[in-house]
Chain A
């Protein structure tokens, strides 16, 4: 059976275990004079049986399903005759897909060497065996666990305590997923990054001024050394993010000020959700808008003004990204402005200051750290934003300060490097992970600083 079918089966078994244990606990309690004489309610004995049935079985199932594919792959590759054994990682993935296509019946066996079709048969066999073993093992463990808990139904055992302890541990495991995810992210980028730095020196990566990741596919190819200098990507990212912030910060901040100080409750209740709607629009929609509407418009406008503009200008991507970040800035500033104590505001107004003077001279300075934190968060969002720049910014890594020129960003390059047909081990693919690492570090730093600033500021007034 497949994992997708085994999962409900285990749950059904757990339900059965629940039922049996429930009945048994009542049966055990009856001669003693009712369930009052048990240490826990029947439902707890039943729940204990269900947990004993499901948890070990699910752990086995999860582990098996996670590693099954990889182990079978390795066994099949090891079985290939020596003359067919692949030389490189790229070859290996090609052979592998050939084998699996053959096993799936998508490929004619007559088209491939005999060793490959043998491997396909092996793959098929191994898959079936693994599936049978998995099914047997999972059902066995589930039944054993359930039965064990069933035999344990006895008046002196406090099932409630053990169920609650298990649940609490389960809750902890769920909370720990956050740590696992972070570890997963760090490890998934760090290994590939180190392998990348074996091929390309760190100094060239960090300080090189030219980026053209076209490496040679064959050793005898000419003129495709590949250059991996991150500087042009860095400046491109910075330029687009700066344009975005230049739009989003004033507009977002002033909107927040107006909404919190001047707007009537009616206006506020209409405008705020509309602003939040801007935040809910998927990035791919902004990308579409930037690439097909704003970019041509800017190019035509520039041409009309006698300027030369690329059809994928940094300005278009930055403008649209700015629109995207407006609600982000405005809602963060709104929070911060509202957190400034009422007394400061009232004091200033009582001295005869106008609302704008109160805003500029009292509230704004008091809220400044929080606003700065918000802007940092917005910057990290702009740097990590992908779809708008993939669709509207270019691919050519130009080192330029002209916003009408086309630039490329770190995220664009990650997507381009990893979506084409690539050898898995080439410097090109590894470069994407190195870029991912840079992106992760930069955004992490920005976030940590921003969160610190915001938190510190909150503590001041709470």
Chain B
């Protein structure tokens, strides 16, 4: 403190260093945000690049002569004959039309692995429906065998291994150039349930299962959550019980989701004897899980209604309940809905608790009701991601895209709702 000018000199000299520090700190911030955004970009590009092929199917379209002699079938309306007949033979015959030299037993086996394993069932079902087709020639579109599909879609991709023999690769190339093997939009994916074979597996079953489960969740969690929020904000006396309820809600919001699965397993399945893997139990578990989220956001919405509204209503003689039902709730509804939609979006993406209550089963049929076995979108993705068949990876990614599309729509709707209905006081 002796010489002010030397003090100023000191500061000036340190300034450069301090500004450098400032810049470095700023840079750290930018770097952190870049890392986060970069991960987001990587995540999405990875999913899309892995999954867009899931929306493409590979088909083999053949002119099949439904020769009764070849199939050991002379009456397609006789179920005994249908059960014994060989429906693979005409398909092989049709393929041999392109490759007449492929006649050996080994060649035939390779030919039979050009179309998917369900191709013969497809011929059988067609004949069952139209017994008079026997002996005629029909154009039938078969799903290609998975190995063929992988070759067509992913040849040269190091992530996939080609499991076709050299001969089959030659055949595939030739059929591709002739337009017999073709690719198109994968309608199977949106119209079927799960299957052991990727070319035959679809997401519709899981989608319906998700809708049923979410229906149960919404019907339970929304009214209960709103009512609980109303009670806590408007009616609850300040006593120990109320405090205890609040502590419980806050803690439940942070309990790991898998614990709710244990609850569902022990209480709903163990104690009440409800069946496993049904949407009702899944919906109940998810409802309990999302309840804290809905309560917390609903309380915030109720809190944001200004006291002047309540006082005005009370001033003209409305009872407490009338104030709440006629004035506070309608005004808080947009906020409550927004919070609930976000809570539902969380529930839609939730997997872990559903694994424990058996929704991870392999289910081919499309669920028909709240009490039929079902799986949900995220669990279906989980099942496919863990499958050994190569074709399931792209299906899992495609499923993720469907799931994300739903989530983004729901969140966008919530934001739109908030923007549109929000009132500033």
Give A residues with C-beta under 8 Å from B.
2, 4, 66-70, 72-73, 160, 163-164, 167-168, 170-172, 174-179, 181-182, 184-185, 187-189, 191-192, 250-255, 257-259, 261-262, 271, 274-275, 277-278, 280-289, 291-293, 323, 326-327, 330, 354-357, 359-360, 377, 380-381, 383-387, 390-391, 411, 414-415, 418-419, 432-433, 436, 439-440, 443-444, 447-448, 451
Give complex CA distance A439, B24 in Å: 41
Cβ of B30 < 8 Å from any Cβ of A? yes
Among A171, A252, A288, the residue within 8 A (CB) of B235 is A171
Give B residues with C-beta under 8 Å from A.
18-19, 21-22, 24-26, 28-33, 35-37, 39-40, 43, 46-47, 50, 223-225, 227-228, 230-232, 235-236, 244-245, 248-252, 254-260, 262-263, 265-267, 270-275, 288, 291-292, 295, 319-321, 345, 348-352, 355-356, 360, 369-371, 378-379, 381-382, 385-386, 393, 396-397, 400, 403-404, 407, 411
Q: Does the CB pair B39–A278 fall under 8 Å?
A: yes
Among B259, B370, B393, the residue within 8 A (CB) of A384 is B259
Q: Does the CB pair B385–A287 fall under 8 Å?
A: yes
Taking A185-B260, A188-B265, A357-B22 as known contacts, 14 extra A-B pairs with beta carbons closer than 8 A to each other, sorted by chain A number, are: A67-B273, A179-B245, A185-B255, A188-B270, A189-B259, A191-B266, A254-B29, A261-B29, A271-B37, A284-B381, A285-B381, A390-B355, A411-B352, A415-B355
Closest chain A CB from B388 CB (angstroms): 13
Q: Does the CB pair B382–A287 fall under 8 Å?
A: yes
Q: Does the CB pair A254–B251 fall under 8 Å?
A: no
Among A174, A282, A330, the residue within 8 A (CB) of B231 is A174
Q: A171-B228, A281-B404, A288-B381 are in contact. Are A250 and B255 (CB under 8 A)?
A: no
Q: List 8 A-B contacts (CB under 8 A).
A: A177-B228, A178-B249, A188-B266, A377-B254, A381-B256, A433-B262, A443-B254, A443-B255
Q: A4-B370, A182-B248, A283-B351 are in contact. Are A70 and B273 (CB under 8 A)?
A: yes
Give complex CA distance A274, B255 in Å: 26
Q: Which of A68, A189, A386 gathers the greatest number of chain B CB atoms within 10 Å?
A: A386
Give complex CA distance A443, B253 in Å: 11
Closest chain A CB from B184 CB (angstroms): 26
Among B291, B379, B385, the residue within 8 A (CB) of A291 is B385
Q: A282-B351, A354-B18, A391-B385 are in contact. Are A384 and B256 (CB under 8 A)?
A: yes
Give complex CA distance A277, B43 in Å: 11
Give complex CA distance A383, B259 in Å: 12
Closest chain A CB from B283 CB (angstroms): 12
Chain B residues positioned under 8 Å from A292 (CB to CB): 50, 385, 393
B35 closest partner in A (C-beta): A251
Chain B residues positioned under 8 Å from A387 (CB to CB): 351-352, 378, 382
Chain B residues positioned under 8 Å from A355 (CB to CB): 22, 25
Chain B residues positioned under 8 Å from A359 (CB to CB): 25
Chain B residues positioned under 8 Å from A282 (CB to CB): 348-351, 378, 403, 407
Q: Does the CB pair A66–B255 fall under 8 Å?
A: no
A interface SS class:
helix
Closest chain A CB from B131 CB (angstroms): 28
Q: Does the CB pair B245–A284 fall under 8 Å?
A: no
Closest chain A CB from B351 CB (angstroms): 5
Chain A residues positioned under 8 Å from B18 (CB to CB): 354, 357
Among A167, A284, A451, the residue within 8 A (CB) of B250 is A451
Closest chain B CB from A439 CB (angstroms): 6
Q: Does the CB pair A178–B319 fall under 8 Å?
A: no
Chain A residues positioned under 8 Å from B249 (CB to CB): 178
Among A67, A187, A323, A354, the residue within 8 A (CB) of B19 is A354
Give complex CA distance A338, B389 in Å: 51
Q: Does the CB pair A381–B254 fall under 8 Å?
A: yes
Q: Does the CB pair B40–A277 fall under 8 Å?
A: yes
Q: Does the CB pair B40–A274 fall under 8 Å?
A: yes
Q: Does the CB pair B256–A385 fall under 8 Å?
A: yes
Chain A residues positioned under 8 Å from B22 (CB to CB): 354-357
Q: Does the CB pair A411–B258 fall under 8 Å?
A: yes
Chain A residues positioned under 8 Å from B21 (CB to CB): 354, 356-357
Among B25, B273, B355, B381, the residue within 8 A (CB) of A356 is B25
